[in-house]
Chains A and B, each alone.
Chain A
Amino acid sequence: MASNTAAANGLSRFLSDLGHSFRIFLRNLTRNKVGFVGTLMILGFIFLAFIMPYFVPAPHKADITKIYERPSREHLLGTDSQGKDIWAQIVHGGRDIVVMAFLTGMIATFIGVSLGSLSAVIGGPLDSFLTTLADVWLTIPRFPLLAVLAGLITLNNIITLALILAVLSWAGLYRAIRAQVFSIKERDYIEAATALGLGLRHIIFSEILPNMMAYIAINFTLAMTAAIYAQVGLVFLGLVPLTRNWGVMINLAWTQGAIFFRDSIYFIMAPVVAIALFQLSIVWMSRSLEEIFNPRLRAGR
């Protein structure tokens, strides 16, 4: 009986704690107006790419009698050069890009964080080797290298593409993380942890990482935007064969000369606007992330 009430008390306290931190989270999220709008837009894009396809039928059948139609109730954004619905193509073409961007961001952040903290904590020859390699790596123009790679291997699935993009962008992240770990490493509480003999893993994951969340979040979004830039760019150039995404739509509109027809403006503008807005919302969201993960920024006001 007594233990029961104790458990109930614990649960309710836990729930109220949760509610409290959720309220704090929401307050921080809405503190930066631009960041909040960006976060809402990201949620909107996730909804568009993952939920909407269940409601909008896939644009399979071509209809030659309906080429380049203006927007109507039947075709929200009109039709393309084959009479396919453009809105349906937008709905079904987002998933690839969203998944790939998140995947690249995750892998790139993982590589950057682990190499960066290892390098800064261990130091010595490993550190100087990695720093030199990063310096060299940063001078190699990434997009041309990617384009050349696309000519040598077939990059037709998003996981391979995400892996390659992440590996190509390791150096910038590594540098940022390493510098950050270096500055945190010198602080007193790390010295205390070392003196207590808490072990390398504990120091990295429990002492250093939580203090760098703002940096990691920003770099995560940077990796995401770079990934979208590269993927859509490659697809637009016609170098990477992927089915059904916004980059493919631009490429199709381009190769079929859609930009030169007056009525085809929706065909080219729909994917262009989608990509531009998605990029913009990621950049805007990063401001909110900064706000959430960096308490010092909040205290300063």
Chain B
Amino acid sequence: MSVATASQGKAKVSPGRIARTIASNYLVRRLGKALFTVWFVTTLIFFLVRLMPSNPIEVYINELIVQYSLTYPEARDQAASLFAIDLDAPLWKQYVDYMGNLVQGNMGTSLRSPGTPVTAIIARFLPWTIFSVGVGLLISFSIGMTLGMLSAYRRDSAWEPVVSAIGSFLSSVPDYIIGILLLVYLGVRWEIVPIHAMRGSSTPGIQPGFTLKFIKDIFFHAALPIATYVLATFGGWLLTMKSNTISTLGEDYVTVARARGLTEGRITSAYVGRNASLPLIAQLAISIGFVVGGSILIEFIFVYQGIGFQLREAINTRDYPVMQGIFLVITMAVILSNLLADYAYGWLDPRVRIAGGE
């Protein structure tokens, strides 16, 4: 069947066939799915905000009337401008406008600090979350992979059960519990770290730039969130890497490689390591979503001024445009990292590209 279509294709390349080839391409399909997800989430949020029993826009209009004794039309106009929505238009028109605004990067204006666009708030706080979560995941991924492989190779050693037990304990306990424990013990009981000075994402007044002082400062402020992310996630990597390595060690091609007399170092890196770590790449993408989501709690605990902290503030003060904007950005970050992981996976494992990756 496939041979037949291939020979036909060689004979005559039609535009339809090119379109089909592009559409069935692994990378293109992944991109299409990512775009579809972005559309799905933005639509979901639009209808959630507009069709909820306690419509946030009506709630805000009432609030304006009570607080500033505005008339209903005045309050309605102000609310409409802040939400970047035309309240008189039919729902479908509002939806089209909303999508159009989003594509142009307009997410409305904050209700609680009027005049501040939502995009400005996101641009100010998102980098800190990306920085702390990114560094934390990189560290935990490297530690987990290394320890997991070592545990698989040294299954008979005395420390292996201890390491596995710690890993499984830390991966079962919620990350915010670990954060609270770090704060209570390191910060308050034993007074090892100065938690009061570590609040915020950087020391006020410090000059941002590629100076050693600034880099040291931001690591100082992010140290506890990063430590929490590492402690909460490395156990999962360790356990997965260990079981993957053990099952890969039993594969025929490893035995054959040994029989061919390849060096142990080459077998470890090119045969066992590469194959055992493949599934972890896909898992990394999923865990980025989870850790970014958990950052609401971790940043709240350590008063770290990132996007999660702002999301919690926005929800608590019912600042709907900010809420909506931050949620969309978090989701897009997760979708983007999933897409990158898909690409990395396809690049590392050619079988995925050919078979379609399911």
Contact = CB atoms under 8 A, between A and B. Distances in A.
A102 B149 CA distance: 36
B331 A139 contact: yes
Contact of A268 (B180, B296, B315, B326): B180
B49 A152 contact: yes
B48 A152 contact: yes
A144 B296 contact: yes
B198 interface: no
B157 to A, nearest CB: 20
A284 B171 CA distance: 12
Contact of A272 (B48, B181, B290): B181
Interface string B23-64: 000000000010011001100010011001110100000000
A227 to B, nearest CB: 11
Given A139-B335, A239-B316, A260-B188, A144 B40 contact: no
Nearest to B55: A152
Contact of B296 (A132, A237, A276): A237
Tell me what chain B mostly uses at the interface: helix, strand, loop, or mixed.
Answer: helix
Tell me what chain A mostly uses at the interface: helix, strand, loop, or mixed.
Answer: helix
Given A138-B286, A139-B289, A275-B177, A147 B311 contact: yes
B145 interface: no
Contacts of A138: 286
Interface residues of A, number: 42
A143 B180 CA distance: 18
Contact of A239 (B33, B168, B169, B312): B312
A147 B316 CA distance: 10
B218 interface: no
Given A144-B296, A236-B297, A280-B172, A265 B331 contact: no
Contact of A283 (B172, B311, B315): B172
B168 to A, nearest CB: 8
A225 B168 CA distance: 14
A272 B41 CA distance: 34
B228 interface: no
Interface of A: 132, 135-136, 138-145, 147-154, 225, 228-229, 232-233, 236-239, 250, 259-260, 262, 265, 268-269, 272, 275-276, 279-280, 283-284
19 contacts: A132-B33, A132-B36, A136-B36, A138-B286, A144-B330, A147-B311, A148-B311, A148-B324, A150-B315, A153-B53, A233-B176, A236-B297, A237-B296, A237-B297, A238-B316, A259-B183, A269-B184, A279-B174, A280-B173
